[in-house]
Amino acid sequence: MLDRLLAGVVAVAAVAAALGMVLLWPGPSDRPPAEQPPLVPGVVREVAPAVDGLVRLRVEALGGEVAGEVLEVEAPTEGFPELRVGDRVELFPTRLPDEGEVWFVADLSRRAPLAWLGVLLVGAVLLVGRWRGLRALVGLAASLWVVVGFMLPAILDGASPPLVALVGGTVVVLGTLLLTHGVGRTALAAATGTLGALVLTVAVGVAAIDAARITGYASEDAVYAAFAAGGLDLRGIVLAGLIVAALGVLDDVTVAQASTVAALHAADPDQPLGTLVARAMGVGRDHIASVINTLVLAYAGASLALLVLFSTSGLPVVELLASELVATEIVKTIVGSIGLIAAVPLTTVVAAAAALGGRDGAGRSAPA
């Protein structure tokens, strides 16, 4: 009976998320096309010694209208990797009043190493995870498509970022969990726990951002985005980013906890609900401690350059913590941690009740 209830909850959430995507789907963009011309790939054929902080290159263009031409290009030595003969680079042109069209190096092309890293990841996942690993990769691709193909365009179209994140997050949760783990009792319990924690995270995030009076303008990236797109809800984008960042860890916590409950129940099918929940929570507490540490370190690692800058500023720690740039990261960490903490007992109780509710007439557990 409870299995059907969980399946109904997940089905209702799936229908609501699908309807939300239809209603929030962005229409044709009326934004003018970007004025920046596309980058032109090239390969470095000659490197001259640096003079006054500039290195002069001869680069063979590999695309665009200048394909095959050898261009005279300058690149700064500061902020660029050391360029060598044979390096692939990305070029862009600009017109100067007295010099006409001049070419510059936008950046070093990193397509080859990134492609090899991607192949290495796929190979490792398939080698260890096999069929389930393949399904996980498909789920990862679908999640990235939801973020890039739906959430970003919908936010740029003027939709509420928190609402878009909640709808997109629900699609990601249900898609990845059910695709990777199937439609069994464990996956349904994990999905239900994740959805509950997701809703709580949104509610706490809205309250925390309002209480801390976060504007979203502390980040230079957000300011540039607001200037480029116009009319963006930067406070909403802070919350949306918080939700997206917490999704992957929520999945990990709820699946692990639901699987723990299933394993404990299989070891002793006759144990009562309270005992099963207590035993699973013993594992869950360890998981909470490790995952929150992971979450905090992930945010600290992403902001390491900022932390170094603040550590050399000479300002008191209290003043640094009160600044919006740091306070935003603190809010993200705390709200995300609260969602993770709530996910463990919620998933545990749901999974335990589902496991005990699946017993057949002989007192044994029915197959999941």
Q: Which sequence spans correspond to the domains of the chain?
A: 2-26+157-357, 40-109
| Angle at the Cα of 41 from the Cα atoms of 37 and 44, rounded to 5 degrees | 130
For residue 124, what pLDDT is reported?
A: 93
For residue 325, what pLDDT is reported?
A: 77
For residue 242, what pLDDT is reported?
A: 83
Q: How is domain 2-26+157-357 classified at the CATH fold level?
A: Multidrug efflux transporter AcrB transmembrane fold (1.20.1640)
Give the separation between CA 242 and CA 210, rounded to whole angstroms.
Answer: 14
Give the separation between CA 258 and CA 187, rounded to whole angstroms.
Answer: 8
CA nearest to 180, candidates 221, 246, 125: 125
Residue numbers of the chain with a pLDDT score lower than 50: 360-368
Give start and end residues of each alpha helix (H) in 183-303: 185-211, 220-229, 234-267, 273-302
Give the separation between CA 262 and CA 256, rounded to whole angstroms.
Answer: 10
The dihedral region occupied by 331, where left means phi > 0, alpha psi between -120 and 50, and beta the remainder, is alpha
Helix, strand, or coil here: 18?
helix
Cα separation values, 367 from 37, 192, 194, 355, Å: 59, 19, 23, 9
Domain 40-109 classification at class level: mainly beta
Compute the chain's Rg from CA coordinates: 26
Burial class (CB in 10 A: 0-12, 13-18, 19+), 332: buried
For residue 29, what pLDDT is reported?
A: 61
Contact 63, 89 (CB under 8 A): no
